[in-house]
Copies of this chain bind each other. A is one copy, B any other.
Amino acid sequence: MLTIKSRSHEYSVEEFQTLSCALRSTDRSRAHYLIDRSIIQYYNEVIASETELSRTVLIEASEENKAFERLTPIFLELLEKGLKRDGVLIVIGGGVLQDIGCFIASVLFRGLRWELVPTTLLAQADSCIGSKSSINVGPYKNQIGTFYPPYRVLLTPQVLQTLPFDEIRSGLGEVIKLQLLNNKDGFEELIDDLNRLSSDTRFSIISKWVQRSMEVKKPYIEQDEYDRGVRNLLNYGHTFGHAFESASHYGIPHGIAVILGMLTATFFSARLGLIPEEYYFDLKQKLAPWHKPFGAKLLKVDRSAIFSAIKHDKKNTGNSINCILTKGFGCMEKHSVDFDGELQPAVNIFIDQEINL
């Protein structure tokens, strides 16, 4: 069990053999549920026997549903189903469910107890700790949100076994990022393990790296929960990654977009002389298996949409662009770069020549 300190409250990350065990650890008499509809297809029986249908709201986990204007019916359904301020909201799903559940719990009754059962690799290894929710409004992505961690995070490796391999691959983006932020040994051990991934080894390898990812992330979010300093470094790869993701209309999954974003940031770092070119070439070669076939698809994405997204990232406050660049393993730095003179040419060359395999 891991414990995380937050300005709001301390919370625990607990591991359970099965989803059933995880759900049995909650206070069912006080619980209402927010469940990703797609979970039902794999865990219909567990959900039926370990939760209360009459106190459940099912949600389709789509980017469109993670919108402020789509939350009203969810609030109403929870209130109509009798949720009170002494209740607990149990959220079962991946990143979209977490964002919706966290936001709702943070503002309903000015703050409601909630517990999270993350069901994707991305949610288990990365987003389930760190307090953040992100909600879209109209065309503006992730501009609304809160800092409000769950009171308990209930991990179960069982749910990762039923995930399609593409879902696992998408989650690897943040796992890889965290080891690049860690150190050379961590990164190389991860790459070795990933190269040995098979349906037999999947379970134990993934569980190991879920744990290792959280250990790397924990000090960043505890020291800087509100993301005003050192936590910014966790955005390595994200200025570019978010832009690839949104400009592709989410055709490039988040984790893959982060891998491509880290390669962009590293290519850019080498061009600026922050690291030797060899570091970039090595990374490019080692990460190649983990972004195929999406890397090549970048060439077809509307280039102006990519640049527009980079400019409008919520982390940019003026005309220059903030991005996290690298001086090597465990050594990321925030830089403010000139959009026209530095950033745009580097991204153009990267997409045209580096990733077009």
A72 closest partner in B (C-beta): B69
Question: Is B317 within 8 A of A144, CB to CB?
Answer: no
Question: Is A143 within 8 A of B79, CB to CB?
Answer: yes
Q: Kindly state the separation between the CA atoms of A132 and B107 in the bound complex, as whole angstroms.
A: 11
A145 in contact with B72 given A79-B137, A85-B317, A137-B79 (CB within 8 Å): no
| CB-contacts of A125-175 with B (<8 A) | 132, 135, 137-138, 140, 143-147
Central interface residue in A7, A72, A317, by most chain B CB within 10 Å: A72
A332 on the B face (CB < 8 A):
no
Q: Kindly state the separation between the CA atoms of A105 and B119 in the bound complex, as whole angstroms.
A: 31
Q: Kindly state the separation between the CA atoms of A205 and B195 in the bound complex, as whole angstroms.
A: 78
Question: Is A137 within 8 A of B75, CB to CB?
Answer: yes
Q: For the complex formed by this chain, how many copies does it contain in all?
A: 2
Question: Is B146 within 8 A of A110, CB to CB?
Answer: yes
A71 on the B face (CB < 8 A):
yes
A103 partner residues in chain B, CB cutoff 8 A: 107
| CB-contacts of A1-37 with B (<8 A) | 7
Q: Kindly state the separation between the CA atoms of A137 and B146 in the bound complex, as whole angstroms.
A: 19
Central interface residue in A68, A110, A143, A317, by most chain B CB within 10 Å: A110
Q: Kindly state the separation between the CA atoms of A45 and B147 in the bound complex, as whole angstroms.
A: 40
Min CB–CB distance A239 → chain B (angstroms): 15
| CB-contacts of A266-318 with B (<8 A) | 314-315, 317
A108 on the B face (CB < 8 A):
yes
A86 on the B face (CB < 8 A):
yes
Q: Which of B85, B144, B146 contacts A314 (CB 8 A)?
A: B85
Min CB–CB distance A80 → chain B (angstroms): 9
A72 partner residues in chain B, CB cutoff 8 A: 68-69, 137-138
Min CB–CB distance A8 → chain B (angstroms): 9
Min CB–CB distance A309 → chain B (angstroms): 15
Question: Is A144 within 8 A of B75, CB to CB?
Answer: yes
A109 partner residues in chain B, CB cutoff 8 A: 143-145, 314
Min CB–CB distance A138 → chain B (angstroms): 5
A84 on the B face (CB < 8 A):
yes
A76 on the B face (CB < 8 A):
yes
Q: Kindly state the separation between the CA atoms of A137 and B107 in the bound complex, as whole angstroms.
A: 12
Q: Kindly state the separation between the CA atoms of A107 and B137 in the bound complex, as whole angstroms.
A: 12
Min CB–CB distance A315 → chain B (angstroms): 8
A86 partner residues in chain B, CB cutoff 8 A: 317
A75 partner residues in chain B, CB cutoff 8 A: 68, 137-138, 140, 143-144
A316 closest partner in B (C-beta): B84
Min CB–CB distance A332 → chain B (angstroms): 21
Residues of chain A whose beta carbon lies under 8 Å from any beta carbon of chain B: 7, 68-69, 71-72, 75-76, 79, 84-86, 103, 106-111, 132, 135, 137-138, 140, 143-147, 226-227, 314-315, 317
Supplied contacts A69-B72, A72-B138, 11 more A-B pairs, CB within 8 Å: A7-B7, A79-B138, A85-B315, A85-B317, A103-B107, A106-B146, A107-B135, A109-B314, A110-B145, A110-B227, A111-B147
**24 A-B Cβ contacts within 8 A?**
A68-B71, A69-B69, A75-B137, A75-B138, A75-B140, A75-B143, A76-B137, A76-B138, A76-B140, A86-B317, A103-B107, A106-B146, A107-B144, A107-B145, A107-B146, A109-B143, A109-B144, A109-B145, A110-B132, A110-B147, A110-B227, A111-B147, A111-B226, A146-B146
